[in-house]
Structure 1
Amino acid sequence: MTDVPEDNPYIREPPTEFAPVEDLGEDEAREQAEQLRAALRYHDYRYYVEADPLIGDRAYDALFDRLRELEAAFDLDAEASPTRRVGGEPVDEFDSVEHVVPMLSIDSAGEESEVREFDDRVRRAVGDQRYVCEPKFDGVSIEVVYEGGTYERAVTRGDGEVGDDVTENVRTVSSIPQRLRGDHPDFLAVRGELFMPREAFNAYNRERVERGDDPFANPRNATAGTVRQQDPAVTAERPLDCFFFEALDGTEFDTQWERHQTLPEWGLKVNDEVRRVDDIDAAIDYRDRLLDRRDDLDYEIDGVVIKVDDRDACERLGTTARAPRWAFAYKFPARTEETTVRDIAVQVGRTGRLTPVALLDPVEVGGVTVSRASLHNPDQIADLGVNVGDRVAVERAGDVIPYVEEVLEKDSEGQFAFPDHCPVCDSAVERDGPLAYCTGGLACDAQLQRAIEHYASRNALDVEGLGEKSVQQLLDAGLVERLPDLYTLDAAELAALEGWGETSAENLVAELDAAREPPLADFLVAIGVPEVGPTVARDLARHFGTFEAVRAASREDLREVEGIGEVVADEIREFFDSERNRGVIERLLDHVDPQAADAEEGSELDGLTFVFTGALDRWTRSEAQELVERHGGAATSSVSGNTDYLVAGENPGASKTSDAEANDVPVLDESAFVALLDERSIDVE
């Protein structure tokens, strides 16, 4: 069962070392790349769908690295290449995309009587039926579309009619094939559930806690946050997986069971707990047995879904406005136990957010021993009135990181006093709505990883090679203790780190060297001045010209800049007045020379407002927006009566196009946008 030619040399016993790429001709490199892509797709299929890998991780990594090296050296990048999984261009927002077929909800209940009522309704309408029973995954539903067998797009469920375009993020999930296998339909829309396996989630959360980050509350929250990352490279570093369970369009099946058996033939992973049963008694028994085993599974479920097997019967049953009449979810009961709060600790995350955690007398909740539970934020503490010594109810409800549901018995006076100074750096704590943040900024050790990742991000200095995983390695190895230490990194020490090599180490050092004279606006973004994103940074740079002038500006001076009000001016001034921040910035300026800005730069698009939708060939979304803003225009995320142009690339968002029509906003394709820039003497080459 393979689409790979028998003579592919990278299937059974692939090499772990290859000849230098410079020894290859272009034709030979192209042929080798095609063989590597085919082999990697096959190995993905064996690993994720059949759970029967042929090769080990080291051999797979060697094939992957070789393909990436060939594509870079010979410009052989391909849309469906496995190397695209490492992450594409970051986005500033997610476009809205209409589903091929509405993704409806499913009626549900936790009582057996309501499940039997569902069966009675089915039998009255279409007679006795067999059912297909599936675990009800506690993840994030998505629609994935394939055209010509190639991965085209992925969209979140959203409101069931329209969801967010998360194509580039979902592309990084290894269990979702970039190409379908076998005799597949020319067009296929399928529904799946993204999730984070429990073991991988626990390991990932341990890493976060060890580096001082807030742990994710549960795998579902982790999955939802990961798939909505604006940078696909971050998504690629997190352990997401996917089960497919519905063919929404592009093909027809006589039964649900036939669909379940066919999806793996196309390379789509299905769950091996799915069963076909003869009647509702067997379906209820399936649910009860799965409830007993739920903690043995490596993924979170909160019930089972019972579906009428016969598709013709499903058509006759039809749907309501929100849910199919042929499916029902039999929910599991919540998992709640009682215990005592012995202490309350406050963690500082990498964004500076302070999160209180209740330390508990160990108690078994749903088969898992729990000794700590999230209290979320200061407002949650106030709402609960919780303090050390209180008797509390702890609930998991499918969560791995449990939470305190309520106080059952007070054994203390009042509530826990939330700290007004950071427990890590002793800086003042400020509130932002229900949340609390450390004001230590660049000098707070707990925020260092976040500060480095932000400093190197695409909207800041755009330093490749400083993603979440690599930054953590630098911190763990003690090579970086403060942000300025980046500029003293030694390539030989970097090359000695696990997963690094001489080339990657030298590349990072070269990237940092190239970032020693950044544009002033990029530097202002990079150092994390509060409320200063790319647009405000460019306005500050144009107005003041030099970094020294920006950091010396008074509140009154700052408020003279268009778009900066009292609150933003106060935030900027407080940032530069912080003694801790000043110390880090002075050290940073020993290595970095922010370049003065031309106050007259960029007036060609003055007074024009643009909105972008869809994919452009010449630029990423953020690059196009920066281009407009660099030349005096404004780039916003939504269409209104104040919008001058909607620039629509490939696969534009339906809602923005509709809004443009409703507001009589001209719609430009990419070539018309380029022509407009040319008319205004803006060089786009």
Structure 2
Amino acid sequence: MSQSLSPVQQLAQLRAQIQQYDYQYYVLDNPSVPDAEYDRLFQQLQELESQHPELITSESPSQRVSGKPMEGFQQVRHSIPMLSLGNAFEQTDMQAFVQRIERALSGGQAQNDLFAQPEPIIFCCEPKLDGLAVSISYVDGVLEQAATRGDGAVGEDITHNVRTIRNVPLRLLGQGWPQRLEVRGEVYMPKASFAALNERAIAAGERVFANPRNAAAGSLRQLDAKITAQRPLEFCCYGLGDSHIAETQSDIMKQLQQWGIPISPELRVVEGVQGCLDYYQDIGARRNDLPYEIDGVVFKVNAIEQQDELGFRAREPRWAIAYKFAAQEEITILQDVEFQVGRTGAITPVARLQPVQVGGVTVSNATLHNMDEIERLGLMIGDTVIVRRAGDVIPKVTQVVLERRPADARAITQPQHCPECGSLVERTQLRRHSKAGEVLSQGAIWRCVGRLSCPAQLKQALLHFVSRKAMDIDGLGEKIIDQLVERGLVRSPADLYHLTYEQVIELEGFAQLSTENLLNAVSASKQPELARFLYALGIPDVGEETAKVLARCLGSLARVQQALPQTLQWLPEVGHEVAHEIFNFFQGEHNQQVVAALLAAGIELQDETELAAELAGSVTFADFIEQWQISGIARTTAQRVAEHFSSLSELLTADWLALAAVPKLPEKAAQNLLFFLQSAEQVQCIEQAEQQLLEFGMHWTCEQQAQEQAALSGQTWVLTGTLSQLTRSQAKQRLEALGAKVAGSVSNKTAVVVAGESAGSKLTRALELKIPVLNEQEFIQRLTELES
């Protein structure tokens, strides 16, 4: 802000800007700047008003809580205003807050006694959820009314919408609650639910939400409660509005929880400023593992008597504060867009940003995903943008601040030639399917057609091929691969196995010992497990776990190479999309040549076996018919058709009369089936799929093999914390060998959680769900028993 402006003009500008942002944030649910930018402006306003108290007006944003009720909802006047909280951004702010409280509660005694020590203040603390503040009133234990905070005095009646939130009790549990009880808290959307909501929006061609807070606000402010009911919202109470039911904040929260009101599982009571700082650091370290977004920690004086003594300022209580985390969203300038080439040839736009601190890290680059994303954002070079970074996730541009677009902003265009090798760039249509094959969303990606002749693709493919979880060739890092490619020594992964001593020792940084070590590491990788080899090939969408499924189920490279998409979809956790990626990869002539060259170079797969026993004869005739996805023929109808016809060939040659004779087959379903079978192309695909099921031994006429069930087959285990006697990889490997699936998060489907040292939120979640927990010693003992 220009210093040439008078204080009156500066205040007018700040107030107008904050009021505009308030309107966008609270009324439109469409914030145009991140919270950090808003907080900075608000701090400027408060500092300027503190310097010129005579210029403070009742209309200033500093004198009231922001926001207005939305049109379309009835207004609700709060019996006690819903105030916001003061903010702390640095440790010194927090220390000053505690010192102010100590002075206020000491009553001046310390001034008369130099040796007096104030009693340590007890605080109730909990994470600051990033949601929408609401008030919920109960009369005689029954939910009567719910309202948004609005402007603090008047909010919007959202009773019908709040009733749809599953964890909000319609009637309180237990007894002893007052005749009227008003609870206050945050309505929020969990991270996983937010991601799923945006996926559905993209599939339907609808607007996506910028963040979970925005999604929660937009969901809660629907005039049609049926829409809200479809949104995965949750409520967390942080206090009361109109009555004290206990002598401390923490006891109030415990009592509310007993009555069925959800409170934060992270709520704690601490002593003094150091206790507050320790809690802040602990929550900050676990922030990214929490299932919901938070932007700080709220500290409240625990004793209600002390809260009453401290009282309120104009817009906030003196006994509470929000200690904010470093912003995960910031505002900056898009200076340019560059295009990078990935391992599969995908041309990805990357934003070059004016450097800005986001979440404590300087960010100068951010992903833009593809041209569809650029178009969705309406992005131009020179724009002011909001960039978001959560934990270790790559920063991304989430929004354009259109009102700040400069006159010389430039459009972003897709290059027609690869920026690395000059080859043509082609547009590939992408489709995401449901498990049933239904198209959920569509998009496009631009790819360089140069394949391994493109240095960027070759280098990335080689780095993936030699990585630890793939062929595990120690000593082949990025700099060495750069040299091998640039000198023309390696043009495909198979060339690694033809490197000579004379070629390697000429590379920069190599001597006799390092050359011998590298060649030995290359040679030692010639006998990989099938799963490692499949993962190393870099098949799109085939990660480490999917590669293990392919190896365990199909047993041999030949079967994986031959497998049709219809066959692959019978494997566990292989859906329509991945099945087609695997099939298309092995159909590619170039990929066939690379695999053949690797085998010719001496690759010997060590663990090839027969088809997994559980797949033998596993596909029933009804399953096969249901897989065709014909309208009107689901599980039960497919079973009737399968029972009526003695073989697939009989069904494929059936006419209308034959289909009409199927018991309880609806006429419309029969018509759809007949129409489907009239396509020669469809029939050919069906016959090829059946033939492969016969060859693989999965056909319904094949005899199921007797199999010994793995000890942990069908169970999901979760590892958390640090193990001292095993690495995480070793523990996972041993569990998988016993048939278990090792997951990264705890859910109702989790069978056992193994908790090592410093186990965090996963252990907490396991205890909440009453899931069995083993310490490291118990875990190793269990493994030993099962493996013996």
TM-score bin (small chain): 0.3 to 0.5
**Structure having greater relative contact order (Cα 8 Å, sep ≥ 6):** 1
TM-score by length of 2: 0.40
Please give the TM-score of this superposition, normalised by the length of structure 1: 0.45
